[in-house]
Amino acid sequence: MGLLSAFSVALASFATERIVSAEKDFLKNVWVVGREHVMAGAATAMLAAFFFYLQRSYLAWYYGQIALAQCRGATSPESIDEWLTSADGWDTWLRYQTGFISLVLSFMSYGYAVAEAVNPSLRVIPLQWTLWLPLVVTLLFVALRWFVLVRFAQEEEPFTVWWKSLRKPNSSSSGRAKSARRST
């Protein structure tokens, strides 16, 4: 996680510094026509670094809890197996996955800035479509992933289980409907 954090920070700082400080030629053109996408690329790379750091901290906390449970033995409030099961859940790795999603979005933003410099016809597409729509769609995608992976953290196929839960009629609501019919 430390390497991924460092890579993300290096991407944000090195790529952005090179593009912004260019005085002529291609990189200067990338900055002039794709400034918003370059800045979005840097911001999402830094966000990726933050998520990788959070994941590293979270795993260190789990490591500490497992070590404490091992030292305490039978007097530990939670067993080592419970800690290991919890650490192996999908919800434990959300920050790592979100970091990679942010990193992909960063590469896409930088890539679009370069594409704008290469292909002038892309410059007429409004920022709402090229910058804000991808950001909003990514946020919705991440929110859905967090919801499903937290709710079904110990399932082997959490999205399959979630999808089946959507398709299955809710037994509690059908039970309320039956009791309402009986009372009338």
pLDDT digits (tens, 9 = 90+) for 87-112: 888 999 999 999 999 999 999 999 99
Of the chain, the end-to-end C-alpha distance in Å amounts to: 61
Residue 126: the pLDDT is: 85
Domain range summary for the chain, segments of one domain joined by +: 2-183
Q: Residue 29: in which H helix or E strand, if any?
A: helix 25-72
Q: What is the pTM of this model?
A: 0.81
Q: Look at residue 79 and tell me whether its pLDDT is greater than 80.
A: yes
pLDDT digits (tens, 9 = 90+) for 27-44: 888 888 889 999 999 999
Show Cβ contacts of residue 22 under 8 Å, excluding neighbours closer than 6 positions.
Answer: 28, 30, 31
